[in-house]
Amino acid sequence: MAFQPIVDVRAREVYAYEALVRGPEGQPAGWVFEQLGEGDIYPFDQACRVTAIRSAARLGLPTLGLQTRLSINFLPNAVYEPANCLRATLRAAQEVGFPLDRLMFEITEHEHVLDEAHVRRIIDSYRQYGFTTALDDYGSGHANAGLLLAVRPDVIKLDMVLVRGLDQDTWRQSLVRSLARFAQDVGCLVIAEGIETADEARCLWELGITHMQGYFFARPGFECLPPVPDEVFGLFAPHAS
């Protein structure tokens, strides 16, 4: 696993570390998925969850702070019955002493969600265990408004297609501003992904986005929890009351 921080720039701290699957020599996720057959998806999803929890615990994530989360991607079509699928997850968390309320599960963009009602049942089941749920890559591919309204997650992760060049594009700015207001109205959190420049980060902050992720803050660390440089937080002046 590699881990990349998700930063709360208002609180000036790491909100979560996202676990990203890698090959045995650090190969990217795309390479890993190319090695899988159709029948491998379900056991692969289960193995990734357990590996992420054990690796994060070994690296000391539970000791970083009372609220720092571990974010894990999951493949919704591979989850047949939430209660059965969670057994290995719960067992791994119990073995390493990882608090359940500090686990976040992201619906990934790798596949089309065939049964939105089934995914909603998964979300509802996860919440019963105290997990946070997120819709990954919103605004790109299959993560559209229809899926958002169907599953109603705790967190919306804005895809980099909405972030790239945001500071120079009034259309993107207007859309992100409206999404920030929507999230505030319904009580969910927005995280912007794929931030690569200080200008993008500052623009997001001015539009009301407080949680961010991307190379600007830190690249994924292979089998480590990369820190966020303190000077980065100096870019974000407090909003006027």
Considering the domain boundaries, does residue 105 fall inside one? yes
What is the distance between the alpha carbons of residues 202 and 239, in angstroms, rounded to a whole number?
12
Considering the domain boundaries, does residue 196 fall inside one? yes
Structural domain tally of the chain? 1
> What is the model's pLDDT at position 3?
97
> What is the model's pLDDT at position 238?
73
Q: Give the structural domain span for 51.
A: 2-228
Is the pTM here over 0.95, yes or no? Answer: no
Considering the domain boundaries, does residue 60 fall inside one? yes
Considering the domain boundaries, does residue 237 fall inside one? no
Considering the domain boundaries, does residue 233 fall inside one? no
Considering the domain boundaries, does residue 54 fall inside one? yes
- For residue range 58-99, list pLDDT tens digits in order: 999 988 876 899 999 987 766 666 666 788 899 999 999 999
Which residues, 6 or more positions from 139, have their beta carbon under 8 angstroms from its beta carbon?
158, 159, 161, 162
What is the distance between the alpha carbons of residues 110 and 74, in angstroms, rounded to a whole number?
10
Considering the domain boundaries, does residue 240 fall inside one? no
DSSP H or E stretch at residue 126:
helix 116-128
- For residue range 7-31, list pLDDT tens digits in order: 999 999 999 999 999 998 888 888 9
* Beta strands, E only, the chain: 2-8, 13-20, 69-74, 103-107, 132-138, 155-158, 189-192, 211-212, 221-222
Considering the domain boundaries, does residue 194 fall inside one? yes
User: Are the CB atoms for 96 and 55 separated by under 8 Å?
Assistant: no
Using a 10 angstrom Cβ sphere, with 0-12 exposed, 13-18 middle and 19 or more buried, the burial of residue 54 is middle
CATH code (residue 174): 3.20.20.450
